[in-house]
């Protein structure tokens, strides 16, 4: 009689799953990186109230935050090839849609999703920087983007880091849906192993352990960085 739960199998199949961990991490890092860059752009547009673009940014954030990431992955996987085919017919180009890997669609969907959430986090962090510092930068002849790079962003990053760390953990867990774009990462590999062994429960327990350990490692890294870049508190004035 087969065991109801094979405890040993949970740990023996972890090395097979870890072979695809680089795919999970690469997908997470790229999605977070592009999500931060695009999110910063959206945040600046909203802060500066750029005519025309402000409403576009608000609409984009609303529609992305109002739809599930799974739906967005499917739209990217099926919609982008349709756009490229239309583009080829319209402009006579020869974009080989079949040669575009599913990894590209997964990164695109996850980055655009993350940008909508990061935009609000970054906007709040940028606005937390004191107006006096921005005015001092202007008095020194700095442009807004110079002040942004040298003063505002470093301080805003320290404020936003804990939230962005949690966002990165969410991105890592969201990669488990990348199989919808034909990307084989650790969860997709778990499905493959489960299909061969019919021990799905053990596979998912193995995946849970892997994601849990990754989360702990990321949390510790974020805490370490947070301590290193923490803005020191102002010393209390000396009184006799």
DSSP string, 45-65: HHHHT-TTHHHHHHHHHHHHH
CA distance 118 to 32: 9
* Residue 71 neighbours by CB distance under 10 Å: 11
Q: In this predicted model, what pLDDT tens digit does every residue of 72-130 receive, in sequence order?
A: 999 999 999 999 999 999 999 999 988 999 999 999 999 999 999 999 999 999 999 88
Angle subtended by helix axes 102-127 and 69-91, to nearest 10: 110
> Which DSSP helix (H) or strand (E) runs through 231?
none
Name the one residue in this structure whose structure tokens are 């966002």: 167
What pLDDT score was predicted for residue 170?
Answer: 96
Token reading at 115: 């940008």
What pLDDT score was predicted for residue 229?
Answer: 83
Q: Once rounded to an integer, what is the mean pLDDT over residues 199-216?
A: 96
Q: What is the value of pTM for the model shown?
A: 0.90
Asked if 39 contacts 121 with a C-beta cutoff of 8 angstroms, the reply is yes
Token reading at 129: 């920087």
What pLDDT score was predicted for residue 166?
Answer: 96
Q: What is the 3-state secondary structure (H, E, C) of 134-195?
A: HHHHHHCCCCHHHHHHHHHHHHHHHHHHHHHHHHHHHHHHHHHHHHHHCCCCHHHHHHHHHH
């Amino acid at each position: 009689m087969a065991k109801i739960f094979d405890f040993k199998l949970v740990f023996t199949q972890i090395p097979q799953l870890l072979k695809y961990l680089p795919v999970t991490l690469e997908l997470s890092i790229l999605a977070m990186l592009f999500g931060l860059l695009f999110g910063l752009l959206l945040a600046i547009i909203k802060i500066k109230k750029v005519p025309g673009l402000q409403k576009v940014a608000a609409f984009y954030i609303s529609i992305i935050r109002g739809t599930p990431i799974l739906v967005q992955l499917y739209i990217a996987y099926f919609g982008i090839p349709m756009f490229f085919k239309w583009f080829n017919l319209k402009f006579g180009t020869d974009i080989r849609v079949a040669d575009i890997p599913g990894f590209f669609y997964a990164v695109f969907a996850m980055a655009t999703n993350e940008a909508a959430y990061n935009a609000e986090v970054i906007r709040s962090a940028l606005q937390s920087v004191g107006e006096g510092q921005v005015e001092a930068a202007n008095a020194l002849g700095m442009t807004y983007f110079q002040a942004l790079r040298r003063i505002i962003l470093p301080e805003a990053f320290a404020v936003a880091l804990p939230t962005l760390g949690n966002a990165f953990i969410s991105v890592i867990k969201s990669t488990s849906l990348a199989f919808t774009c034909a990307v084989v990462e650790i969860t997709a590999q778990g499905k493959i192993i489960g299909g061969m062994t019919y021990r799905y429960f053990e596979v998912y327990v193995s995946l849970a352990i892997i994601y849990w350990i990754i989360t702990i490692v990321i949390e510790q890294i974020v805490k370490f960085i947070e301590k290193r870049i923490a803005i020191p508190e102002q010393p209390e004035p000396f009184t006799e």
